[in-house]
Structure 1
């Protein structure tokens, strides 16, 4: 009989403790979960408290950005409201290089839309892979840029910008200048008035998605301030006329370059300023500094005989001379002075001070200057602005050169009287003639319309009137500038022909040809100065530069509705009609071969 096992007996396996109890297993699980919870809480505390700002900045850097709000540059208008410089909206294509490279299969299509080589684009992106921003193409037309954006390449975006456009192109290039690709003025009035025209960009915070596209505007950080408009004194019609006529004349006489300035004598406002050769400000790439230089303001010339009226102004102001007295003996056209032959090319004999201007006698001008006190003569020249900036505000304006009077040697004093041994800009010369035209009042030349431009009395109104009347004889028959005459208008002016400076002295066969004139002479409104540099076909100012004055000012007077003051008098191109005020009706002779040749002399 088998004994019955005792109820309290345990199986052998259990007695030996082969595995953990359920209680111990439970405790282990709880411990692991507790440790994990503590770790998560610690990590959350670290992220949300200890390093909260760091991660917030990192997140913002990826999704919240501050971007510029572009502003349009102010428009430049001529005096009649015609636009000379405008800003047109464009779009620049930008990218996050690393994101584009992560989608390398899209690069060929992107390159085609941008109009560039795919390999070049990929290389460009690889070189900038560590950057968050790079331009792919600047200033595309909105339509072309939209075609790029429509490709939806990750990391590629469009950014609005503005591009400067100049409707008149090369006609106004030297006055206006141009802007760079970032819309900052680089030359001319664009540079001079950059802070006025440019305005100030605004700024805003935006949220971008992972593709880099703006999905939400968060806030405006800084309000944009568009550039202010600028109205110039220029008259686009007269500017175009001056440009066209000067360009034609440079071609006709085979000259190196030329400049023309037209001033309103009553205000000092610059109505036209042309410098040739020129350039297209809408396509500056490939041009050089010589093409972009505004020679009417930055370059200087020796004025030759156009300086004689200011020597005469000093003479009349001294009280020693009047328009008709005393008589000046120019002899046979040669005057030996300190071993130098000051000469005219023909014998003029005895001349009045008016005759010295009419015949453009170097001998007469030198003999007048010699009789004047040196410091008085120097001060008179300085009063007309020679040797000093006009104050126009144009970048790079030259002051010219007039040596201090007490350093003049006797020969220098004599040669300066007829325009050698000193130099000036075409704008300075125009401003000095405008002073004579406006009753002896000098207005600083200005490019701004209707600006506050008070004048300063330089010589008395009586002397100014006498000089203008004396200068009328220069354009009358027998004078050196008959080709400057304008039908039905009286013209006062002066020719000038000067040898070009060269190493060791003056070039024998190279000249500058000048003319400065005032119209209408009886009630002056406009002054025009023309300088033509190194013409190869003729060189006398009366033949080379005076015809440009005639054609430009003839048109300008009519454009401005200036009433004629000289109806019926003789003029170039037609005989004197009944009632004319000039003696004789013979047609004008070419100044080449007559007394205008007296202007040329080697000091």
Structure 2
């Protein structure tokens, strides 16, 4: 009897267990089947975002300035991660991460999280070899900049997500960025991608961007500027080279610079600042040609008109204006050649505010150069009704207003191309493309200014160190005291040289500015030699033959009629 009861009880327990298993199977197979099937599908298949390849940035000749290279990034799907004993520590070592920081990422509720972006191949291989479920790698693209610090301020850089953050990478981000794709991928039991089942959205590659820069001339410009800044222990330096007939920026350099391939710990924003475009400073004597050009255009003076330079000291409204080298009565062309502040001020004072302001505005001062570059400065040229007599006098020799190196280059291009102001561009101008321009100066006036500026680099001029054998050079030195605490610093200068060559048929315009050089501070000594080196190499690169008999002067090249503007425009296209 006792054994029969025990048998029935054991049978009852077996029956209940069987019923329990049956109920559980029914719950799994029927009630929870859709949920479990979806989880299994998610583990076996998943959608992968396919990054787009960013377009390349090229120089005018097709040399790469920014390219994208494939790299691996390590990710985790936290809900699916299954780590065995010691797996977390091994993964942390492979990724060079603290185990605690890694654990915090893996505990997130997000279905996808990056553990480390754009890792070396050895790291990606080490992670894959661990075989941890829910940990994988995905292909991305890392930006590489072959020119490094030489073209950093123009090209800029893109962030880890492939979005432009500086330079043309930012300015033309929409052009360079492609459209990411999406594909459905089958995975194995360890969460590793096995095969692509279908492409749900195709990838569209970004468009390439061809710049106006010539990487060879860019290198020459950067090295000349870098060596000048180092030699004079200057705070900074800026240099710009443009084609006066198309408005193309052929080179643009800043010192200090940075390497966009490794941006950490390189001085931060101060080194990344594109001073040639964003910093507007009082230009000093390199502005005097435009004061004289305004008077010439209005018929108020001629190159041989005599002006009394007050023997080195003149007072205007209770303020003193000095010349470094006192002079008496000299012709206007010698005002430019010898760089007289007093005579430039007197020529400005003979014009009314509106007239001088209108001409300076015509040369592009107070206006953005039009490159579309982030942070492009317009400089300061206050409205003429705000000027008093002393302010008009100081503007005549480049004080009381500000301009960037890029603005100065555009203004000198007007003198070089025969009187037409062109928009500047960082993109290459095609051989059949016509650049619309606005005539702001008569051809005869431009020719007279070119002849006067050629005297600056000749015997008796302030810019003899810019002279170049076989090529006529026209230019102007500048030495501007920097404003400080309501006045001007006694020991802080902006040294500059701006000009073009050859005078008979200008091919290049260049501007060199050196901020706070030590020891020497005159533009003719500090900046002119760098200008000479840049122009010499630039003319050779552009295959402009020397003319041993050339001494400067001569008419600028003919202009071509711009389509639909009614204004003459500079001949389009240029030699590379």
Q: TM-score, normalised by structure 2?
A: 0.88
CA deviation string 1:234-283 (max 9, x = no partner): 11111111111111111111111100000011111111100000111110
SS in structure 2 of the partner of residue 536 of structure 1: coil
The 5 Å alignment of 1:539-554 reads 539-554=521-536
Structure 1 counterpart of 2:279: 299
Alpha-carbon distance between aligned partners in 2 of 1:122 and 1:99, rounded to the nearest angstrom: 19
Correspondence for 2:61 among 76, 80, 83 = 80
Structure 2 counterpart of 1:147: 126
The 5 Å alignment of 1:130-141 reads 130-131=108-109, 132-141=111-120
Structure 2 counterpart of 1:405: 384
2:307 is equivalent to residue 328 of structure 1? yes
1:200: Cα distance to partner? 1.1
CA deviation string 1:543-585 (max 9, x = no partner): 10001001111111111111223x14679xxxxxxxx99xxxx
Alpha carbons 1:199, 1:225 under 8 Å: kept:
yes
Q: Check 1:483–1:45 CA distance in 2 against 1; reply closer, same or farther (3 A cut).
A: same
Alpha carbons 1:441, 1:456 under 8 Å: kept:
yes
Alpha carbons 1:101, 1:125 under 8 Å: kept:
no
- In terms of mean alpha carbon deviation, does 202-211 or 188-197 score higher? 202-211
Correspondence for 2:288 among 288, 308, 316 = 308
Alpha-carbon distance between aligned partners in 1 of 2:153 and 2:21, rounded to the nearest angstrom: 76
2:182 is equivalent to residue 200 of structure 1? no
The 5 Å alignment of 1:59-74 reads 59-74=40-55
Structure 2 counterpart of 1:110: 91
Structure 2 counterpart of 1:444: 423
The 5 Å alignment of 1:415-430 reads 415-430=394-409
The 5 Å alignment of 1:256-267 reads 256-267=235-246
1:34: Cα distance to partner? 12
Alpha-carbon distance between aligned partners in 2 of 1:312 and 1:383, rounded to the nearest angstrom: 14
2:323 is equivalent to residue 344 of structure 1? yes
Structure 2 counterpart of 1:284: 263
Q: CA RMSD in A?
A: 2.7
Structure 1 counterpart of 2:297: 317
1:36: Cα distance to partner? 11
Alpha-carbon distance between aligned partners in 2 of 1:563 and 1:441, rounded to the nearest angstrom: 25
The 5 Å alignment of 1:112-261 reads 112-114=93-95, 116=96, 120-131=98-109, 132-261=111-240
Q: Check 1:253–1:154 CA distance in 2 against 1; reply closer, same or farther (3 A cut).
A: same
1:377: Cα distance to partner? 1.1
Alpha-carbon distance between aligned partners in 1 of 2:524 and 2:20, rounded to the nearest angstrom: 105
Alpha-carbon distance between aligned partners in 2 of 1:135 and 1:434, rounded to the nearest angstrom: 51
Alpha carbons 1:75, 1:83 under 8 Å: kept:
yes
Alpha carbons 1:356, 1:364 under 8 Å: kept:
yes
Alpha carbons 2:466, 2:532 under 8 Å: kept:
yes
Alpha carbons 2:94, 2:126 under 8 Å: kept:
yes
Correspondence for 1:486 among 422, 445, 468 = 468
Alpha carbons 2:83, 2:132 under 8 Å: kept:
no
Q: Check 1:38–1:263 CA distance in 2 against 1; reply closer, same or farther (3 A cut).
A: closer
Q: Check 1:328–1:343 CA distance in 2 against 1; reply closer, same or farther (3 A cut).
A: same
Q: Check 1:316–1:146 CA distance in 2 against 1; reply closer, same or farther (3 A cut).
A: same
Structure 2 counterpart of 1:275: 254
Alpha-carbon distance between aligned partners in 2 of 1:144 and 1:33, rounded to the nearest angstrom: 51
CA deviation string 1:361-394 (max 9, x = no partner): 1111111111112111111111111111111111
Q: Check 1:42–1:86 CA distance in 2 against 1; reply closer, same or farther (3 A cut).
A: closer
The 5 Å alignment of 1:30-41 reads none
CA deviation string 1:76-134 (max 9, x = no partner): 111111111111110011123465553232234333333x25xx235422453243333
Unpaired segments ≥5 residues, structure 1: 1-17, 20-31, 572-579, 582-603
- In terms of mean alpha carbon deviation, does 314-323 or 161-170 score higher? 314-323
1:521: Cα distance to partner? 0.8
SS in structure 2 of the partner of residue 412 of structure 1: helix
- In terms of mean alpha carbon deviation, does 103-112 or 156-165 score higher? 103-112
Alpha carbons 1:260, 1:528 under 8 Å: kept:
yes
Q: Check 1:123–1:186 CA distance in 2 against 1; reply closer, same or farther (3 A cut).
A: closer
SS in structure 1 of the partner of residue 252 of structure 2: strand
Alpha carbons 1:72, 1:227 under 8 Å: kept:
yes
1:168: Cα distance to partner? 1.1
- In terms of mean alpha carbon deviation, does 445-454 or 378-387 score higher? 445-454
1:191: Cα distance to partner? 0.6
